[in-house]
Structure formats: structure tokens, C-alpha cells
Amino acid sequence: MAANCGVSFGICRLRVTKVDAAGNVVAETGNSYVTDNVVSVSLTPNIETGNTISVKNGCGCSVARFKENDTFNWFEFGFQNATLEPDLLALLLGTPTIVDGADVVGQAFTGALACDEDEPAVALEFWTKHVVGSGQDGTYPWIHWVFPKTVWQLGDNTFGSSEAAQPTVNGFSRTNLQWGAGPYGDGPPDGEDIREGGWWKTDVEHPAAACASADVSPGS
């Protein structure tokens, strides 16, 4: 039976997983984070427009015209959260956290990377509702979006007297040949290659959120 052709609605969970320069999940504690405080994620493909070639004769009439293929480069992201989650921001930006006893209470910003220093990177996943008609689909209630390697920087953030500050970061994707089906056991049901990213409708429930980092084994 064909899957219902519903719409993607909202954004209910977001998960990041720390990966190394080669795209492997980093084997360390606190390498994963799930939030349900995400406000929005914007997704923009970066496309390099193909060259346009036009040949005219001496009378100004067209002899030949041809447009070369456009080239996909990467995806660009904007991520806005409703709350300050220092563990999450530290994973996204690759920065140290500030602790008070056993509690993670803040984040320390860092300067530019050294020329030979690996950029911090995470796999980015989020879940949206799959809505058909006026309700969530009964067969595949969720849409799982995956981008297996992304790099982030702090975005424009505003603090004022009449509004709640919503942390904003911006990022872009990189190819990741090492992600495979991911370490959580909820990858593409047919094992499709998602080295650039992908999405699929699913009945697998999204992960539970917690205001703290978690551990995932690279081989799990």
C-alpha cells in the first residue's frame, strides 16, 4: 500500500550527535543531545548556477543557446531555540561549558580556529509531524530528517526588555560517508545512502528530550 501523501507540520524534536573530521561518531561521554525546545530550522540548498552559453550570428539572430547544469554545493541552516541549553550549544559550536558543581550552567565562547585545527561538527536530525487531512497520519505519523555532518557558528541574537531571547545559530552541511544508518538504530528502513542528508516517513517514535547531554556508542 502506498504511503499517504501528507504534509510536514511543525518541528517536535531535534537531535545532534558529535562527529569527528572524518564523520565518525566521537566516542566520548556527552556526545548526544535531544531537545524539544526548538522553535524553527530553516533549510536552504546552496546552488551554483550553471553557465549560460549563447551564440548569435552577425545579424543578431540566435544560432545556439545552452545552459549548463546547476551544481548542488551544500545545505545552509538557521536554527532557533526557545531556551538556553548550554550542553546543546556547546555541541553545536564545539565550545567548552561552564559548570557549577555537577550542573552545566553556561558556555564559554572561543576565538578563530587555528589553520590546522579540525572544525567542530555534529550530525543534525529533527522530527516533524506527518499530517493528512486534519490529523496526524496513523501509519507513518512522523517525518525524520537527517543531515549527517553539519558545522555551526553563532548567529545574530537579540536581547531586549520586551521579548524572550531565543538563541540562534547558523550552519552548513558537509558530505559524511561514515554515518551509514547512524548509531541509534532508527536510520532509513531500506538502508539508503544518506551521506548528503535525507528524510523519510516513519512510525518510529522520536527520542525523548532532556535538558542534559547523553551518551551514544558509535557502534550501537
The pLDDT tens digits for 19-75 are: 999 999 999 999 999 999 999 999 999 999 999 999 999 999 999 999 999 999 999
Residue 114 has pLDDT above 90, yes or no: no
The residue that leads in pLDDT, 167 or 116, is: 167
Query: Of the given ranges (55-59, 115-119, 120-124, 190-194), which has the lowest mean pLDDT?
Result: 115-119
Average pLDDT, the chain: 94
Residue 113 has pLDDT above 90, yes or no: no
Residue 13: pLDDT band with limits 50, 70, 90:
very high
pTM, two decimals, is: 0.92
SS (H, E, C) the chain: CCCCCCEEEEEEEEEEEEECCCCCECCCCCCEEEECCEEEEEEEEEEECCCEEEEECCCCCEEEEEECCCEEEEEEEEEEECCCCHHHHHHHHCCCEEEECCEEEEECCCCCCCCCCCCCEEEEEEEEEEEECCEECCCCCEEEEEEEEEEEEECCCCCECCECCCCEEEEEECCCCCCCCCCCCCCCCCCCCCCCCEEEEECCCCCCCCCCCECCCCCC
Residue 118: pLDDT band with limits 50, 70, 90:
confident
- Give the pLDDT score at 220: 57
The residue that leads in pLDDT, 214 or 1, is: 214
- Give the pLDDT score at 163: 84
Residue 97: pLDDT band with limits 50, 70, 90:
very high
> How is residue 179 written as a grid cell?
554515518
- Give the pLDDT score at 121: 97
Instruction: Give the whole-number percent of the chain exceeding pLDDT 70.
Output: 99
Cα(158)–Cα(167) distance, rounded to whole angstroms? Answer: 8
Average pLDDT on 172-201 reads 96
- Give the pLDDT score at 202: 97
Cα(143)–Cα(112) distance, rounded to whole angstroms? Answer: 36
Residue 122 has pLDDT above 60, yes or no: yes
- Give the pLDDT score at 1: 59
The residue that leads in pLDDT, 116 or 133, is: 133
